[in-house]
C-alpha cells in the first residue's frame, strides 16, 4: 500500500465534516481547520434567533465528533492563502503541507456592495449571529419599556423572503402573539410590525406556485406585512429606504437577501464566479488545480441538470463530500485508476421545504406539492434526523414539544456584557 496521504480540509460545515468522516482512515491522515471549534447546524439558526432552542442544541464540538477518528487532527485557525507550487496553506497559526486540499468554507452574507447596510444590518450565518439577533430583539423590548421615543423600536424589518426570511418572519410573528405580551405587560404589541421585504414577486420564489401562495397566505394571516418587487437601497441604523422611495423607521434590520462565496488568496481569478464561488469540475476538482477540491456552497459545478450550478443546500454538500471521499479512496487504492473510472457528481433533488410556524409548512416533492400540518410534521422529522447526536435530537424534540403544548419557551436570556 502507498504511503498515507495528508489531506487538509478547510471548513467544518456539512461538507467538511461529512468528507472527513467518510474518508478511509487506512489511506489518509486528515487535518481539519476551522475558525470555530464546532460544527453549526445552519437550518435551525432562526430558531435560536427567536428563542425556541438553545445554541448548544445545534452546535457540535469538532473534537467530540471525531473523538474516535485517530487519523483526524483539528486546528482552530483562519486560512489566509494557498501556495499551490509548494502544496502548502498559510494560516494565522502557521503553514501546513498537504497532498490533497479540500476547501469547504461555505458562503457569507451578500450585501451587494452596500457598505452602509452591511454596517448596520444583522445577519444570520452563524450561531453567534443567531444569539446576536436574540439579544437585539429582547434588548429592543427592554428599551421600549423605558423609552419615550418608540417609533424605531416598533418595526422589525427582514430583507429577503427565501426560506430563511420566511422562517424568521413566521417565528417572530408567533412570539409576538404568544410569548412577548406575557413578558412585557406595558407594551401594546398591535403596534409592533414585522415587515418582510422581497425583490421578486413572491415569497419562497424558488419553490412551487403552491409554496409561494401558501407561504404568502400563512404570513399575511399571522400579521406579517409583506412588500414584494421592492429592494432596500439604504439603511443608516434608523431608517430603511426602499427602491420605491418610501422609508421605514426601524432599529432592527435582519438581512437575508443573498450570499456570496468566502475568499482565500491563491485561487486563480479565472476559477472564481461573479458570486465568488469556486468553479469545479464533475469530480469537485478546482479548475487549473491538480490536487485541490471544493465542496458545498463555495463550489460552483455545472452539470447537464444544473447548468447554473447546484442549489446551496445541505444535501448537495453532503453528497458531494461522500462522492469525493469515495473517488479519492479509489485513486489511492489503485494507482492505475483512470479518470474515466471515477464517478462524476450529479445531484438528485428530492425536493425542498420551509416552515412558517406551528402546523404551517410547505413541501415540494417531484410527485406532489403540499402544505399544512402534515408538511410541518415532515419538516420537523427530517430536520431532527439530520441533527448529529442522539442527545441533541432529544433536547430539540423536548423543546419543540414544550413549545407546541404551551406556546411558550423559557429561553429568553439576554447574553451580553452588562456594560455593553
Confirm if 277 and 320 have CB atoms less than 8 A apart. Answer: no
Confirm if 232 and 111 have CB atoms less than 8 A apart. Answer: no
Confirm if 276 and 261 have CB atoms less than 8 A apart. Answer: yes
pLDDT score of 405: 82
Q: How far apart are CA 408 and CA 139, in angstroms?
A: 19
pLDDT score of 326: 95
Query: Across the chain, what does the average pLDDT equal?
Result: 91
Confirm if 308 and 331 have CB atoms less than 8 A apart. Answer: no
- List the chain domain ranges: 5-35+77-109+259-341, 115-257
Cα–Cα distance list, 190 to 148, 173, 223 (Å): 17, 11, 10
CATH superfamily of domain region 115-257: FAD/NAD(P)-binding domain (3.50.50.60)
CATH for 5-35+77-109+259-341, options being 3.50.50.60, 3.90.1420.10, 3.40.190.10, 3.40.710.10? 3.50.50.60
Closest CA to 329 of 24, 99, 20, 30: 24
Q: How far apart are CA 80 and CA 84, in angstroms?
A: 13
pLDDT score of 140: 83
Q: How far apart are CA 323 and CA 343, in angstroms?
A: 8
pLDDT score of 338: 53
φ and ψ at 344, to 5 degrees? -80, 150
Confirm if 34 and 8 have CB atoms less than 8 A apart. Answer: no
pLDDT score of 332: 87
Q: What letter would DSSP give residue 343?
A: P
Q: How far apart are CA 199 and CA 80, in angstroms?
A: 34
Spans of the chain below 70 pLDDT:
1-2, 147-153, 334-340, 410-411, 417-420
pLDDT score of 402: 81
Q: What letter would DSSP give residue 86?
A: G
115-257 shares the fold of 5-35+77-109+259-341:
yes
pLDDT in tens, 328-358: 999 888 655 555 578 999 998 888 999 999 9
pLDDT score of 323: 97
Amino acid at each position: 500500500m502507498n504511503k498515507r496521504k495528508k489531506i487538509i480540509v478547510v471548513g467544518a460545515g456539512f461538507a467538511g465534516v461529512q468528507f472527513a468522516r467518510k474518508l478511509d482512515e487506512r489511506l489518509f491522515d486528515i487535518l481539519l481547520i476551522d475558525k470555530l471549534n464546532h460544527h453549526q447546524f445552519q437550518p435551525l439558526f432562526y430558531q435560536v434567533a427567536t428563542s425556541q432552542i438553545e445554541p448548544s442544541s445545534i452546535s457540535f464540538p469538532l473534537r467530540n465528533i471525531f473523538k474516535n477518528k485517530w487519523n483526524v487532527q483539528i486546528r482552530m485557525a483562519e486560512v489566509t492563502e494557498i501556495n499551490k507550487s509548494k502544496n502548502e496553506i498559510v494560516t494565522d497559526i502557521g503553514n501546513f503541507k498537504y497532498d490533497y486540499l479540500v476547501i469547504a468554507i461555505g458562503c457569507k452574507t451578500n450585501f451587494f456592495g452596500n457598505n452602509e447596510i452591511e454596517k448596520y444590518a444583522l445577519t444570520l450565518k452563524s450561531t453567534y449571529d443567531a444569539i446576536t439577533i436574540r439579544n437585539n430583539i429582547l434588548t429592543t423590548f427592554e428599551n421600549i419599556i423605558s423609552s419615550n421615543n418608540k417609533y424605531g423600536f416598533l418595526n422589525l424589518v427582514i430583507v429577503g423572503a427565501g426560506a430563511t426570511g420566511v422562517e424568521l418572519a413566521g417565528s417572530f410573528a408567533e412570539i409576538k402573539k404568544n410569548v412577548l405580551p406575557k413578558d412585557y405587560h406595558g407594551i401594546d404589541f398591535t403596534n409592533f410590525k414585522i415587515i418582510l421585504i422581497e425583490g421578486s414577486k413572491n415569497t419562497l420564489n424558488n419553490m412551487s406556485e403552491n409554496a409561494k401562495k401558501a407561504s404568502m397566505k400563512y404570513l399575511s394571516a399571522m400579521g406579517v406585512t409583506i412588500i414584494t418587487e421592492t429592494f432596500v437601497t439604504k439603511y443608516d441604523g434608523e431608517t430603511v429606504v426602499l427602491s420605491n422611495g418610501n422609508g421605514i423607521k426601524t432599529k432592527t434590520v435582519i438581512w437575508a437577501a443573498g450570499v456570496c462565496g468566502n475568499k482565500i488568496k491563491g485561487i486563480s481569478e479565472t476559477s472564481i464566479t461573479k458570486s465568488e464561488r469556486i468553479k469545479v469540475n464533475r469530480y469537485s476538482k478546482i479548475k487549473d488545480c491538480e490536487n485541490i477540491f471544493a465542496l458545498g456552497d463555495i463550489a460552483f459545478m455545472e452539470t447537464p441538470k444544473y447548468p447554473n450550478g447546484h442549489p446551496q443546500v445541505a444535501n448537495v454538500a453532503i453528497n458531494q463530500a461522500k462522492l469525493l471521499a469515495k473517488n479519492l479512496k479509489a485513486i489511492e487504492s489503485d494507482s492505475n485508476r483512470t479518470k474515466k473510472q471515477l464517478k462524476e457528481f450529479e445531484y438528485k433533488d428530492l425536493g425542498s421545504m420551509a416552515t412558517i410556524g406551528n402546523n404551517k409548512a410547505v413541501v415540494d416533492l417531484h410527485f406532489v406539492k403540499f402544505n399544512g400540518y402534515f408538511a410541518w410534521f415532515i419538516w420537523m422529522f427530517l430536520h431532527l434526523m439530520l441533527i448529529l447526536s442522539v442527545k441533541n435530537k432529544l433536547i430539540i424534540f423536548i423543546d419543540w414539544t414544550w413549545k407546541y403544548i404551551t406556546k411558550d419557551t423559557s429561553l429568553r436570556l439576554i447574553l451580553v456584557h452588562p456594560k455593553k
